Amino acid sequence: MAFMDKMEIESAVFMGSTTAPQVMFYIAENHPNRVDAMISGESGSMYKTMPIRNDEIQEFMYYCSYAAMDLGDRAPDIVMPTYDYEPKFYSDETKKIDIPLYWTYSNQMNVIMMNLQLLNFLQPNNAFIPNEKAKNYFDNLYTDKELQNRIKKYYTKNDPTQQIMDALKSAFGGNLTLKNIDEIDEADIMKKYQIADKIMMEYLISLSSTD
């Protein structure tokens, strides 16, 4: 908001991915006059994540954060606080937001599934995450099948995906445009994303052609 004020930007279209929707929704709920529209840029975007209710899940999610390799060793310090964020409309179904939202999603590649898929890549000497502490954690997790099963059961029981979608539909109503990446007729996942990006840009262009 300070940046917008400094640049004398009265309102704007917000577009972002991963945890950016948390920022966009905060501004939409608290400063709606500054937001013209919002666009979620990828199917892994999130505004509410898996609730953390015990230490072993917190530890698993802590080390999963290192999968954000562009953040390096700072990943937990940046990623972990996002797990506590919850927009007002998530728990208050009376909250309505009169702002256009384009939301891409995938049932196969959402944040919940991506964390769980790390379990499928476990192997001796896990080198897929360069951080040494994370590597040791996943090496130990590889040998602990009971812990793996507890994590899977916890994720299955506490998966917030449906409540996330229901809250979006309730809050945004007719202002919500949903795009399911899974429905794009393309076998290659990267080409799916390329097609989805093209559709997203067409939506963005359509916004600029309206008053």
Task: Dump pLDDT digits (tens) for 78-128.
Answer: 889 888 889 999 999 999 999 999 998 887 777 777 777 778 777 777 667
Q: Which helix (H) or strand (E) holds 15?
A: strand 12-16
Q: Where are the domains of the chain?
A: 11-208
Are the C-beta atoms of residues 83 and 50 closer than 8 Å to each other? Answer: yes
Q: What is the dihedral of CA 83, 85, 89, 90, to 10 degrees?
A: 20
Q: What tokens were used for 154?
A: 């916890």
For 19-55, how does the pLDDT look when each residue is reduced to its tens digit (9 = 90+)? 889 999 999 999 999 999 999 877 667 788 888 999 9
Dihedrals phi, psi of 179, to nearest 5 degrees: -130, 115
pLDDT at 211: 52
% the chain with pLDDT above 70: 96
Model pTM?
Answer: 0.83
Q: Is the pLDDT of residue 130 over 60?
A: yes
